[in-house]
Structures are given as structure tokens and as C-alpha cells.
Amino acid sequence: MKKITLKDKTFKTFISYEDLSVAIDKVAEKINADFRGCTDIPVLLCVLNGSIMFMAELMKRLDFNCQVISIKLSSYEGTNTTGNVKQAMGLTADITGRRVIVVEDIVDSGNTIVELKEILKRKGAAESYICTLLLKPAAYKKDIKIDYTALEIPNDFIVGFGLDYDELGRNYKDIYVLDE
């Protein structure tokens, strides 16, 4: 089992890149089935910075035309969520009347999802769907439906494959869990 150290914390391998790839294949199949033959051009909304790796892998597997845009929100300091979601960068394109697939790296408390759904509604999205690489069912207590989930995981702190600890660790292709 490989271990990595980021700042003052050590992490051990939790989910291999191979297992992530299989999960992304499956979630892409579901999205493709739902959007097959669509005549509109759905928007894939990458939630920066954490979703970059997942977005890159997911969009390669989608077989319908789509537009890719971004937004940047933040709610974490160190290993804890602040509970407050701040918009660090707004939407990079107009979504009025469009179907939007939000591409998230992880859904835990759900605060970011609530904020995103509100932003999309205010900006005039016709419909919005939530797609996440990782879902923590034990932490997620919101009423908003998660439309596409690649993997469900325990409520542990993880890094890698886009996820960070104080902006470090995003570049690892595997996902690591805090080694306590």
C-alpha cells in the first residue's frame, strides 16, 4: 500500500486509478443513455478545482455534443468544511435555457450542491443534473437528488484525483485516505 505525505499528514491508497476508471465508465454509460439522441447541446459544468481530473475522464467517454464551462466555489479550510460556500469565479458562459450537468468531484455535506442549484436557477438553466465522482452518504443530508454517482465512500478525508489537502495532492491519479 503506497503512502504519501502532504504537509503534516500521511495518506494511504484508498481507491486505485483502475477502480476509478471502471466507475467513471459506468457513470458515463448512464449519462450517455439519458442524453443519447439529444438535439440540444447540454452544458458540462466543471466545479473547479477539484473536478478537473474527473471532468477530463468523463467527457472523453460521452458520445453526445456538449459544451464545457467552469465555476469555482470553495468551502474547505484544511481538512474541514467551513459550512460557507464562496463563489471564487462565476460561470464562464451563459446557460439561459440550457440543460446543465454539474460535474463534482465529491458530495459530502451538500452545501456546495445547494448553492450550485440556486446559482443555476438564478442564471436561467432549463434543467440541472448533479454528477459526482464520489458521494459520502453518511454526510449528505440534503433533499437535492444526486443524479449520477460513480462511487459511494465512507465519511473519511481523502485526497488525489483532483481532491486536495490545502491545495496539495490533486495531481495523484489514485485516491488516498488519511492514515491515522
Active site positions, annotated = 108
Cβ-contact 135, 103 below 8 angstroms: no
Kindly report the three-state secondary structure assignment for every residue of the chain: CCEEEECCEEEEEEECHHHHHHHHHHHHHHHHHHHCCCCCCCEEEEEECCCHHHHHHHHHCCCCCCEEEEEEEEEEECCEEEEEEEEEECCCCCCCCCEEEEEEEEECCCHHHHHHHHHHHHCCCCEEEEEEEEECCCCCCCCCCCCEEEEECCCCCEEECCECECCECCCCCCEEEECC
Cβ-contact 144, 117 below 8 angstroms: yes
Q: In this structure, which amino acid lies at residue 122?
A: R
Reading the block at residue 6, the C-alpha cell is 502532504
